[in-house]
Structure 1
C-alpha cells in the first residue's frame, strides 16, 4: 500500500502542482485555450485557486515524507475531492459537459484518501 500511495499521490501532486502554477503565473489569455471557464471567475479567485492547488500538492507529499503531521495528507486529498466537486459544478453550470478529467481526478483523490489513511 505504501508504494501505491506514493505512485498515485505523486502523480496527483504533479498534476495539481503544474495546474496550480499555471493558474498563478499565466494570464487569462494564456489559460483560455486550456480552461474555457477562466472568464467566469475573478482573477484573484483564479490565482487563489492556483495557490490552493500548489499547497494541496505539497500537503500530499511533504507530511508523509517527513513524518511531521502525516494526517495532513488525507486532509489534502479530501480537499481535492471537494475542489473537483466544485469544478464539476462550475463546468455544468456553464453548460460545459467536458467533466471526464474532473471525474477522474475526483476518483484518484478518493483512492488517495483511502491509501493515506492506511500509511
Structure 2
C-alpha cells in the first residue's frame, strides 16, 4: 500500500506542479484560449496566479516532507488542501457545464482523498 501511495502522490505532484506553473507563468488571456480554460476569465488575474502558487506548494507538500523525513504529517494536510482546490474546480466546471473537465477533476479529487486517507491512517510514515 505504501508503494501505491507513493506512486499516486508523485503523479499528483507532477500534475499539480505543471498546472500550477501554467497558472503562475502563462498570461491569463492565453490560459483562457486553452481547451477548458475559459474559467480563468471568471476570476481576477491575481487569483489565478495565487491559485497557481498554492498548487505548486501543494505539489511540494505531497512529496518533500516525507522524502526528507521532516514533518511527514504535512503530506496528508497538503492532500486535504489540494482536495479543497479540486472541489472548487469541480464546482466551477459544473456551473460552467464543462462536464468532461469536471469528471477529470473529480478523478483527481478521489486520488487525493486516497492519499490523505492512506497517510493519515494505516499507511502513515511513523
Asked if TM exceeds 0.5, the reply is: yes
Unaligned runs of 5+ in 2: none
Write the distance in 1 (CA, Å) between the matches of 2:10 and 2:68: 15
1:4 positional shift: 1.0
* Partner SS for 1:68: coil
Equivalent residue number for residue 5 of structure 2: 5
CA contact (8 A) 1:84 1:105 kept: yes
* Partner residue of 2:118 out of 97, 110, 115: 115
Unaligned regions of 5+ residues in structure 1, if any? Answer: none
Instruction: Give the length in aligned residue pairs.
Output: 119
Q: Which 4+ residue blocks in structure 1 deviate beyond 3 angstroms?
A: none
Deviation, structure 1 residue 88: 1.2
**Distance in 2 of aligned mates of 1:108 and 1:2:** 14
Whether 1:102 and 2:109 are equivalent positions in the alignment is: no
In 2: Cα distance, 1:73 partner to 1:45 partner: 24
Instruction: Please provide the CA RMSD for this pair.
Output: 1.1
Mapping of residues 30-41 of structure 1, within 5 Å? 30-32=30-32, 33-34=34-35, 35-41=37-43
Q: Secondary structure at the match of 2:72?
A: coil
Corresponding residue for residue 59 of structure 1: 61
